[in-house]
Amino acid sequence: MARAQELATSDVDVMIIGRVGLEDFASALRQAEQQLGRSVNPTLYTREEFGTKLHAGHHFLTTVLDGEKLFILGDPHELAAASCHPPGTATYHEPPGA
C-alpha cells in the first residue's frame, strides 16, 4: 500500500516496534482487515531486536526500510531512533514527503 501498487488481492504488512504482544492489538487488526477487505500481517519486534537485526543486515528489514512507508503511529525520526541512527544518517532512505 505504501508504494501505491496494491491490488485487490494484496495483503497489508504492518511492522510494530515496541514492547507489545499480538494480543494487545488483535482486535484492531481484525477491524482493519474488515474495513480494508484484505489480510493484515503484523511483524513484531522489540526495539532491541529491531536494532540488532537491522545492524546485522537482516534482508527483510533493510528492504522494508529502503522502501516507501506509511506511518500509522510514529514518524521517520522515531524509526531512526529505534535503529540507533539519527535521521539523515540512517541505513534507510526516507521517501520524499515522509
> Average pLDDT over the chain, rounded to whole?
79
* Cell digits of residue 52: 540488532
CA distance from start to end of the chain: 14
> Which three three-digit cell numbers place residue 23?
494480543
Which one is predicted more confidently, 89 or 46?
46
Residue % of the chain over a pLDDT of 90: 27
- Say which amino acid occupies 4: A
pTM above 0.85, yes or no: no
**Spatial separation of the C-alpha atoms in residues 79 and 92, rounded to whole Å:** 10
Q: Does 17 score more than 70 pLDDT?
A: yes
The domain ranges of the chain are 12-82
- The pLDDT tens digits for 41-75 are 999 999 889 989 998 999 989 888 888 888 988 99
